[in-house]
Each structure stands twice: as structure tokens, then as C-alpha cells.
């Protein structure tokens, strides 16, 4: 009997220990911090993904993010051109709040030409919780040494610093920035790996995708943050025969090349999704996909039913293709209609990483809203301002107020739109009740009162800046 009791005691201890081990293991697994990936395209039209209804281009891998997660029907960025939009995204704060209202110039001697050092990036904040991070592709947040990715929280960088770049390696003829003598010369610089110039052989989009896959491969055992900023399909329009051959039926060469460039991005997204699955980490990786602004009229993009283009505060400039995949937390096949913002990406990421930003964020954690755990909507209102043009817009619910000046006639117009029934902004609600008009204007004025003037001259002031800074392009070799 004593032996039997001992046997049962030992067995019970083993079972208990095993159970505790499994509970601990499950708890650890459930409390793992999610990996965070942002896939950002450049000047991609709202209608140029098949998850938004395109029949001209198939984007099956990008579509997986939307169909295996959530498609945002009202996803916005904070500005209608590259630089300011990226500042809002990477900080989770309206760029106007810290003077980032203009497109930064190539000015490597000027520490004010880019994202102010007062602002934390997502890499800064997630790094506090042990995240390994990489910035890949287009930076455009400052060329000064102190503004570069490795000094803004990122552990690794592979890409280029300026607002655009040539796509074919044979055109990268400048070995260092001392050879840059004009704003757009920087499009021809060799790529940087961290702070070292490299000899790259691949088509640019393919090279960026390769680096993204490699980073995942090397960092799958710990939480990581990847900011993958493709410059496609931003001009210049350049694609390889591999991708051009997919669109032989498109006669317009600009449109054909543009579609080929988007297709190259889609291939890269497919490689990233496959690598996440191979490593067994796709379930707990949140992947955001969006464009930095709407499609540009000069690059043959298509904004679907939206009016306006890149640079405009009409929907076509700020309303972008936007999706999120995170199987662990979000069921597949969700369509989310309330408006969300690129500001929300950082707020969502830091909420689940339990990181603590120093600055107050303008974005919100959108996952509880998507899941239905929290009632209401993420944002009562969203705001946009083009400081130099004095154009502005506010959207509250389905109502949008837009004040813009026609550059040709110099006449300012104000419009009110019901975006639920008029997403194309064709019908100005001239008979809208005065109370509703006043409410929208009052909200914008209150928001504007918290913003500041731009801290630097931007791309629109390129000539003025150069005249004021004659040594703008006199730099060391690096």
C-alpha cells in the first residue's frame, strides 16, 4: 500500500508539473509581443489594388493582407504628399504639430530639413521593449547625419535617403553624396547599407523585397519592427521585362510600366508572407499595407471613384488603399467602414508591445474597434492642412468640409460633402444646416490652434532655399 501511495504521489507530481509547464508555456505564448511590419508604397492609386476592385491589375499577395485580415474602406493618411505623410505615420502624431508641414529637401548639412529630433519614431518607442528594427527603402525624413535611420531608433537600414530614386542599378552613378549637386541628383546615388554605400545588382524593388525577407529570416526568434517603404510606383516609371510582360495587353506605356511596378511590389509582399509562414510567426505578426498618399496624375495611377490626385485634399490625395492582417487577433474577411488614419499604426503597435511613448499620440489603438470590443469609432474627426496654400479639410463622420484655392483663378471655394453617398465629391451640400457647417469649421480651428508653422522651407521653395544656402551641396564624402 505504501508503494502504491508513493507511486500515485510521484505520478500526481509529474502530472502537476507537466500541467504547470503547459500553462506557463501557453501564458508565455499568448503574451508574446507581436512583430510589426509596415509595407508602404509611394503614390499608389486607391483603385490600383484588386482588393479595391481593380480588374486591370491583380495583386493577390497584397489582397491576402486585406482578405485574411481587415480592409479599411475609409483609410486616410495625414498629408497628400510624401514627406509630411511619412512623418505622421512614423510618429503617430500630426506632422503639423511639430512643424513638419512641408516636403523635406535634399539638404544634408541642415538638421532642420527633416523629422525634428524632438519626435520619437516607432523604432525609438518599440526599441524600449527590445524590438529589433529595420528601415528599408525610401527614408525622406532627413539626409543630415543626425536624422538618418540609425540615429532615429533603427538598428539597420537598407535604402536611400531622398524622396525618390532610379530603379536600375546601372543608373546609380554617384558613389557618395559629395557628388550630389542638385535636388534630384540624389536619385542616382548608390544605396546605403546602414552607413556604407554598396554595389547592388538587382532591380530596386526586388532588392528591397530581398532585404525584407532576409531580415525576417535573421530575426524570427525575437520581436521585430520592419518599416518597408517601397518607392514604387513613384516616378521615374521604370520596370523590368519580367514585370512588363505581365501587361502586354495595356497599350499605354506609362500605364503599363506603372502596373508592372505595382506588380513587382506584390511579388515582394508574397515573399514576405511566405517567409513569415516558413518561420511559424505569421500568426502573431501585424502587417499594415498602405500608400503614403493618393495616386499621382503624372504616373498613370488610378484613384477609382475618388476625385483629385496626390497633392490635393480631395479624397484622391489622402484616401488610400489600407489593410491590416494579424491572424492572432483579427479574424479574416473584415471590412471596416469608420475612418481610420495612418496615425493609428503606431498607437496600435505600442499598445500591444506595452511600450510607452514620451510624446502624446494623435492615433488610437484600432484593434478593439475592429473586433467590436469597444463601441463607437476610433476618431470623431480627422484634419488636414496645406500650410503654404492655406487649404484645409476636416472630416467628421460622413461629412467633409473642404476649403481650397484654385491656383489658376486664385479663387477660394468652400465645399461640404456627404461622403457616405458622394465619395466622388461631386455634390456640394450648399443647403447644409448652418449649425453643421459651424461645427466643422469650429473643430478645424480648434485643431489648428494646437499646430505650429513649418520649421523649414520645402520642395516648393527649392530655388529660394538654394539661394539662401549657397553651400547646400558642399558635403563630405559619405
Q: Write the DSSP symbol of residue 16.
A: H
Please list the active-site residues. 82, 140
Provide the CA 360 distance to its chain's centre, in angstroms: 20
Handedness of CA 453, 454, 457, 458 (dihedral sign): negative
- Burial of 45-78, coded b for 16+ CB within 10 Å and e otherwise, reads bbbbbbbbebeebebebbbbbbbbbbbbebbbbb
427 vs 239: CA distance, rounded Å: 39
Q: Is the distance from CB of 14 to CB of 7 less than 8 angstroms?
A: no
Helices (H), 279-342: 315-318
Within 29-69, strands assigned E span 35-41
Q: In what order do the strands lie in the sheet with 391-396?
A: 381-386, 391-396, 399-405, 412-418
Task: Name which of 110, 123, 121, 137 is nearest 87 in CA terms.
Answer: 121
Q: Cα(179)–Cα(162) distance, rounded to whole angstroms?
A: 14
Amino acid at each position: 500500500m505504501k508503494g502504491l501511495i508513493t507511486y500515485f504521489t510521484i505520478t500526481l507530481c509529474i502530472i502537476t508539473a507537466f500541467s504547470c509547464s503547459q500553462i506557463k508555456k501557453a501564458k508565455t505564448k499568448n503574451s508574446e509581443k507581436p512583430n510589426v511590419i509596415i509595407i508602404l508604397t509611394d503614390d499608389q492609386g486607391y483603385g490600383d489594388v484588386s482588393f479595391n476592385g481593380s480588374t486591370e491589375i491583380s495583386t493577390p499577395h497584397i489582397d491576402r493582407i486585406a482578405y485574411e485580415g481587415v480592409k479599411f474602406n475609409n483609410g486616410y493618411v495625414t498629408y497628400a504628399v510624401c514627406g509630411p505623410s511619412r512623418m505622421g505615420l512614423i510618429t503617430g502624431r500630426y506632422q503639423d504639430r511639430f512643424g513638419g508641414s512641408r516636403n523635406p529637401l535634399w539638404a544634408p548639412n541642415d538638421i532642420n530639413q527633416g523629422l525634428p529630433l524632438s519626435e520619437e519614431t516607432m523604432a525609438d518607442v518599440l526599441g524600449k521593449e527590445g524590438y529589433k528594427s529595420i528601415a528599408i527603402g525610401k527614408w525622406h525624413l532627413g539626409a543630415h547625419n543626425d536624422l538618418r535611420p540609425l540615429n532615429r531608433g533603427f538598428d539597420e537600414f537598407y535604402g536611400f535617403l531622398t524622396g525618390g530614386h532610379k530603379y536600375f542599378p546601372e543608373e546609380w552613378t554617384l558613389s557618395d553624396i559629395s557628388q550630389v549637386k542638385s535636388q534630384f541628383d540624389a536619385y542616382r546615388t548608390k544605396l546605403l547599407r546602414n552607413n556604407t554605400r554598396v554595389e547592388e545588382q538587382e532591380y530596386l524593388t526586388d532588392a528591397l523585397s530581398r532585404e525584407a525577407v532576409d531580415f525576417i529570416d535573421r530575426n524570427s526568434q525575437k520581436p521585430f519592427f520592419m518599416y518597408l517603404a517601397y518607392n514604387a510606383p513613384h516616378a521615374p516609371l521604370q520596370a523590368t521585362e519580367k514585370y512588363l510582360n505581365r501587361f502586354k495587353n495595356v497599350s499605354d506605356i506609362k500605364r503599363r510600366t506603372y502596373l508592372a511596378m505595382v506588380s513587382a511590389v506584390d511579388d515582394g509582399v508574397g515573399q514576405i508572407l511566405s517567409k513569415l509562414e516558413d518561420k511559424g510567426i505569421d500568426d502573431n505578426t501585424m502587417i499594415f499595407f498602405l500608400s503614403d498618399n493618393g495616386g499621382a496624375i503624372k504616373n498613370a495611377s488610378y484613384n477609382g471613384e475618388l476625385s483629385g490626385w496626390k497633392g490635393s485634399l480631395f479624397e484622391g490625395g489622402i484616401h488610400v488603399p489600407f489593410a491590416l492582417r494579424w491572424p492572432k487577433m483579427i479574424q479574416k474577411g473584415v471590412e471596416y467602414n469608420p475612418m481610420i488614419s495612418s496615425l493609428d499604426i503606431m498607437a496600435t503597435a505600442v499598445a500591444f508591445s506595452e511600450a510607452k511613448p514620451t510624446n502624446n499620440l494623435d492615433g488610437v489603438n484600432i484593434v478593439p474597434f475592429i473586433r467590436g470590443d469597444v463601441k463607437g469609432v476610433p476618431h470623431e474627426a480627422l484634419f488636414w492642412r496645406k500650410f503654404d496654400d492655406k487649404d484645409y479639410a476636416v472630416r467628421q463622420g460622413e461629412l467633409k468640409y473642404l476649403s481650397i484655392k484654385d491656383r489658376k483663378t486664385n479663387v477660394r471655394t468652400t465645399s461640404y460633402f456627404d461622403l457616405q453617398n458622394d465619395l466622388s465629391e461631386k455634390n456640394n451640400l450648399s443647403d447644409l444646416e448652418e449649425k453643421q457647417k459651424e461645427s466643422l469649421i469650429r473643430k478645424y480651428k480648434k485643431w489648428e490652434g494646437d499646430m505650429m508653422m513649418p520649421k523649414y522651407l520645402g520642395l516648393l521653395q527649392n530655388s529660394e532655399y538654394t539661394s539662401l544656402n549657397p553651400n547646400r551641396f558642399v558635403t563630405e564624402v559619405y
